[in-house]
Amino acid sequence: MRTALTIAGSDSCGGAGIQADMKTMTMNGVFAMSAITALTAQNTTGVTGIMEVTPEFLAMQLDAVFADIRPDAVKTGMVSSDKLIKTIAAKLREYKAENIVVDPVMVATSGAKLIADEAVETLKAELLLIATVVTPNIPEAEILADMKITSQDDMVKAAQIIGEKYSCAVLCKGGHSLSDANDLLWNSGSKKWFNGKRIDNPNTHGTGCTLSSAIASNLAKGFTLEKSVERAKDYISGALAAMLDLGKGSGPMNHAFALSGEFAKEAE
């Protein structure tokens, strides 16, 4: 059994964050573990409260995981605090973690900024430099590359800037009215487009978390980065196409769309 660790915040409604990551990892065939950076009170309509853990307690969680069940891959999600980012980077370096997928959660789909400028700079200086691959959406790629992105050529340029500056692979995610769900993987000077069919489903809560966790899961199982991205996109397409409709806002996907068997049966 391969293992994967998610370092992110908890989503009380289960559609994003730690909950989405662990569902995704389980459905992608790896044993999921977690280190929680914050508790949130949120649902499909928004976030009403956030309670961060201390850097000391986050470090304890990471020590506990690595000391007992070493993860074959690590995914990081939303971390809004400068000190927490430094703690994560220090521990991943200490344990020489491999297959690190950084989802640089800085800008919401709505365009709202999610972390402070200081934390953005720390994310760049600490986490990106140890990442195997970073998975920014268009607004996040604009921040990391310090340029405006309005075309596919711009996506290529931005990915190259980020990849060369931080010595990591970059999956620049389309969407946001650009590139129709086509994602660009830039890796050591080579580029590959992953064309996606835009699925007409308004319930997209947690798509970024899910994609990065699926990539980490496949890296943990020994797939190449290119194949891991391909498999992750297929998984998220299936989860969206299942057309789950829960909640009053932008609802979650059906992470368990492919689940079948004795324990999935409903009462007759």
Active-site residue numbers? Answer: 173, 204, 206-209
Write the CA distances from 240 to 88, 184, 210, 229, 252, integer angstroms: 31, 20, 11, 16, 9
Tokens of 196: 């996606």
Pairwise CA distance, residues 123 & 104, whole Å: 8
Provide the terminal-to-terminal Cα distance of the chain, rounded to the nearest Å. Answer: 33
Of 212, 198, 268, 209, the closest CA to residue 240 belongs to 198
- DSSP code for 151: S
Sign of the CA dihedral running 27, 33, 37, 38: positive
Give one DSSP letter per residue of 37-69, joined into a string.
Answer: EEEEEEETTEEEEEEEPPHHHHHHHHHHHHHHS
